Amino acid sequence: MEELTRDGYVLSADPKRVDFSRVHRWLTEESYWAAGRSYDLVARSIDGSLPYSVFTADGTEQVAFARAVTDGATFAWICDVFVDEPHRGHGLGQWIIDTIVADLSERGILRFLLATRDAHEVYRRAGFEELAGAHRFMEIDRRPTRNAILGNP
Q: Which of 15, 5, 139, 121 is nearest to 68 (CA)?
A: 15
Predicted local distance difference test score (pLDDT) of residue 145: 86
Strands (E), the chain: 4-6, 9-12, 50-56, 62-70, 75-83, 111-113
Q: What confidence category does residue 148 fall into, taking pLDDT thresholds of 50, 70 and 90?
A: confident
Strands (E), 99-151: 111-113
Enclosing domain of residue 19: 4-150
pTM for the whole structure: 0.93
The number of distinct structural domains making up the chain is 1
Predicted local distance difference test score (pLDDT) of residue 104: 98
Between the CA of residue 34 and those of 5, 81, 92, what are the distances in Å?
29, 11, 20
Question: How many Å apart are CA 127 and CA 141, to the nearest integer?
Answer: 26
Predicted local distance difference test score (pLDDT) of residue 132: 92
Predicted local distance difference test score (pLDDT) of residue 1: 87
Question: How many Å apart are CA 116 and CA 80, to the nearest integer?
Answer: 10
Domain containing residue 45: CATH number? 3.40.630.30
CA 77 to the chain's CA centroid: 9
User: Residues 120-133: what's their mean pLDDT?
Assistant: 94
